[in-house]
């Protein structure tokens, strides 16, 4: 299972790539699961991933992202993950808002499930999705990471 470790000021993130692009990004100390068709990444993809991750962790929106392979998700999950990419740095959206953005206004709970299954957190910013009342809800990387990422982006906490 080819894996790239990306050293950041917050620890080593694990990146895995397929022929399509970055397929998984894991937080430091997360258990690594295999990706069946993972490859050694082309140097430019690894450079783009490293630059984008470090830019995000510095509180800024990256100018470019590496190619992203979102193919592990259902059509709905992929649609949700692409919608996450449109949430500006330093801003948040509620699950219901995101459901309306993907034209599935009654799918707020399903949006939460899609965010939890997001294989590329930080770069596909599911940490920017919050509860309707402004509450910080679950996060696949752990609530401490959600809070840390929102603080880095200068989102004023608590939100409610």
Q: What is the pTM of this model?
A: 0.91
| Selection from 154, 159, 160, 137 nearest residue 89 by Cα | 154
Q: Respond yes or no: is residue 126 known to be catalytic.
A: yes
Tens of pLDDT along 88-114? 999 999 999 999 999 999 999 999 999
Cβ(96)–Cβ(45) below 8 Å: no
Task: Identify the pLDDT of residue 65.
Answer: 96
Tens of pLDDT along 77-91? 999 999 999 999 999
Q: What gap in Å lies between CA 15 and CA 3, rounded to an integer?
A: 6
Task: Identify the pLDDT of residue 133.
Answer: 80
Tens of pLDDT along 48-63? 999 999 999 999 999 9
Q: What is the mean pLDDT of residues 69-82?
A: 95
Catalytic residue among 68, 126, 149, 150: 126
Which residues 6+ apart lie within 8 Å of 45 measured at CB? 17, 21, 22, 66, 67
Rounded to the nearest 10 degrees, the angle between the axes of helix 108-116 and helix 75-84 is: 80
Task: Identify the pLDDT of residue 140.
Answer: 84
Residue 34 pLDDT greater than 80, yes or no: no
- As separate numbers, helices (DSSP H) first and strands (DSSP E) second, the chain gives 5, 5
């Amino acid at each position: 299972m080819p894996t790239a470790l990306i050293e950041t000021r917050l620890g080593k993130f694990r990146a895995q790539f397929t022929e399509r692009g970055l397929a998984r990004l894991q937080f430091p100390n997360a258990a690594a699961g295999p990706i069946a068709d993972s490859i050694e990444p082309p140097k430019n993809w690894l450079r783009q991933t490293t630059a984008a991750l470090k830019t995000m962790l510095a509180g800024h929106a990256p100018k470019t992202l590496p190619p992203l392979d979102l193919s592990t998700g259902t059509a709905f999950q992929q649609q949700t993950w692409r919608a996450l990419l449109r949430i500006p740095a330093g801003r948040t959206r509620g699950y219901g808002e995101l459901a309306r953005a993907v034209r599935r206004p009654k799918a707020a709970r399903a949006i939460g499930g899609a965010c939890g299954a997001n294989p590329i957190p930080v770069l596909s910013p599911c940490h920017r999705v919050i509860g309707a009342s402004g509450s910080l809800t679950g996060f696949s990387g752990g609530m401490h990471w959600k809070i840390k990422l929102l603080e880095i982006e200068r989102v004023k906490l608590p939100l409610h």
